[in-house]
Chains A and B, each alone.
Chain A
Amino acid sequence: MLSIKNLHVNVDEKTILKGLDLDVKAGEVHAIMGPNGSGKSTLGHVLSGRDGYDIIDGDIQFQGKDLLELETEERAREGLFLAFQYPVEIPGVSNMEFLKASVDAVREHRAQAPCDAVSFMKQARAACKEVNLNQDFLKRGVNEGFSGGEKKRNEIMQMMLLEPTLAILDETDSGLDIDALQIVADGVNSLRSAQRGFIVVTHYQRLLNYIEPDFVHVLANGKIVKSGDKSLALELEAKGYAWLEEEVA
């Protein structure tokens, strides 16, 4: 469903991604690991269409479409979801308004009628419960005053409501305690299906104990330098990243 070829990306005229290739098929979970500064988060931002990331070379196909030709909101409507490493606080816009606006936009794109307010409220409350967020959160401003863990769980809740085809989790495990990690992982695992793909970006192997990947890739110095199965993650945990960077160099 996602095919990235030879992706080169500049940020502030500095090349961050230097020829990244990645293929994700429906039903697969890909973990992308790598040292700080290797370009892991850049990948998520580029896929989401954030400003300030210049694609200088390469191609991204998503569900048979040229992803780079689509606006950010069109990508989301086509089924791409990015769980942010640092979700944005938007005071004054309630979580509920925000969730309804986004679910309606995606439904409209799929030629489905907008949810009526009552049934959506039910759905949202159920999703809250699944990620163990108090329902009061629906009334509060988007992520306003949420703790780090609450923000991450809010991301997972949005993912559940939007039912994306491809979800990218950008360091969703950072700043989570074990209980929150379990909740986040349960949320992801509940959505795993033969129709859906995941890219799990993480610095640590820990998350992969909870979300078992089909493939593990190591991103270093702007490209994928090694790919393997989940045992690669354990090897990285034991040996660190330095040996790989040396191997590549």
Chain B
Amino acid sequence: MFKRINAPKNGKVSFTFEGRSIDAAPGDTVASALMLAGETHFRDTPVSQSQRGPFCLMGVCFECLVEIDGVPNRQACMVAVREGMSVRRQKGAIGVEIE
């Protein structure tokens, strides 16, 4: 488990992950906020659907890809948290809906 060494001082930012409400600190990225909230499973791979989570936290490994407000393939470690944002796991390959 990851914990903050100090409680955040300047208020909080709330968003949801898979519908669960998460309280983050201003300055958090989506990845840091989720890790500090105990989440480790950010996506399933397109090849084998195996679980993955953040690896590098510096925008290089693309393991922390999530869907943010309906937009897939967002690097959770590169996006700052915003009040009310809706974050979902990225599940495997993105299909194209055919009617």
The answer to whether A and B come from one shared complex is: no
